[in-house]
Chains A and B, each alone.
Chain A
Amino acid sequence: MIEVEQLTKRFTQGSGRSARVVQAVDGVEFGAADGRITGLLGPNGAGKTTTLRMVAALIAPDAGRITVDGLDVATQPALALARMGVLSDARGLYPRLTARENIVYYGRLHGMSAAAANARADVLASTLDMRGLLDRRTEGFSQGERMKTALARALVHDPANIILDEPTNGLDVLATRSLRQALRRLRDDEGKCIVFSSHIMQEVERLCDHVVLVAHGRTAARGTVAELSAMAGETDFEETFVKLAFSPEERQQGAAT
């Protein structure tokens, strides 16, 4: 369970005279319950990645509060991280290590024994349908294979909360489908709390039980896909998204170009 309250973050870009202050996140809030897939939907640059990085204790927020299973991320980052599995935007693997070694390395960093981490790698390989990859070096893996390995690595310590930042980026249809199935399995069989960010509406519509619309660093709307559509008075989810996430001027500009 993840609770995010009134999160704000501003960055200074450049230095000296050319310095520019960017308000990346300006009051995002949402709750992600266990046994549900919560989708963070928003256009590029809406502040999704920054929000998720703050949840993962990688950036300290200027204001606001994040709790993971009741643990405050600001004051107990290590304990909170132990309860989270994060698949971030950057998901580089070590090319000279096998998939298994990549996974076990993270398990060991989470304090697991080598035997436990190895056993867990086998379990995850079945869940994610990647048993054939496990003992190959990750050099030369396809995007989908990389993603699976990175996901297995993020889940090695069996976290109750799973955070995925645009996990379908660069995946083909089959890989996306197989990821979707894996996430549903994790939700239904293990009751995980899953937070999933994306800028692709179809993705969110197909998968998420609860949608948080993020635009301009703010939470624009929250609810199930049906609730949001009702709120916007639209039947089409794309129309709903555009109506709720963008201002009338922006919509006109988008239509003009």
Chain B
Amino acid sequence: MASTTVLSPVKSNSTLLNALGVLPGVLLLAAIGYTGKFLEHFLNTYAKTHHWTFPNIEYVLWAILIGLVIANTVGVPKVFQAGVATYEFWLKLGIVLLGARFVLADIQKLGGISLALVVIEITLSLLLMTVLGNLFKLKPKLISLLAIGSAVCGVSAIIAAKGAIDADDEDSSFAIAAILALGALALFTFPVIAHSLHMNDVSYGLWAGLGVDNTAEATAAGALYSDAAGKVAVVAKTARNAMIGFVVLAYAIYWAGQGQAATVSNKAAFLWKKFPKFILGFLLVSLLVSFHTFSKGQVGSLGNLSKWAFLLTFAGVGLCTNIREMSKHGLRPFIVGAIGEILIACLTLGLVIGADRIWGL
């Protein structure tokens, strides 16, 4: 998956070749993203001019839909694939730059609430997925992967855990397919449910960050509701991502105890290795903004650069969602994933509504 994509370090001619290799795909991401932005603007203007009542369909949804249609009809030609796979890079770049739109006090408040909810969410999700997996008699390591994927952060967590618990490729692709398919479903259902419940931006953003597993999809689900909700979703999801090392370490120790995975001798090094470093970048940019390193106009520019990076990400989410591939992985893991995700979505919704009552989000 894209989360394992590593951009080659600056060395020799291969760097130039790599850069040229990703260019067509990146241009495709940009073209799809920009078309989404154009369609949103065009349809709104057209509807207003002709006095039509037309729902505002955000560029996020257009970009994802166009990508989905391409990926599931003509497919993504090979020449574009390397560039399309960079969407996870644009996501992380967008998140780091998004730090400019938060001062540390915001992060302290939102991050504190998010962390409290994340701990509850992770505990309940791990328990729930383990019980469901055992009920449906899935393979033990597949249960671990599904539990980690749904509790922490989707694809990245599954990939991190796969190595740590020595799971096989088939199990991890099952788990990834289930998490991605359900994340894609959440993109379309979460905003509808939230609108029907008249949720405010902060509550919805927290829900999207806690309930949608893959970071790209959680970011998109938040942005689909509103710009403010998108920002909160990123903070909540980032707080969840920060826990990846602890959860994977716990599973690695468990499976090593069973004699079915490698022993982890240096736990601090293991935690650092698994920690998503882009979170530190996000905090650093936010710190710089909090100390007034940038003027108001410059903060606006950084925020807009972040939006452009997300635009490429959303196009990539659609282009990397291959429904045919997902359906090849069999029904049982998907059913367990679906039941688990629906229950987790209800549970996190309850948590957020509860937090709103207690803290007044």
User: Does B associate with A?
Assistant: no
Residues of B within 8 A of A (CB): none
Residues of A within 8 A of B (CB): none
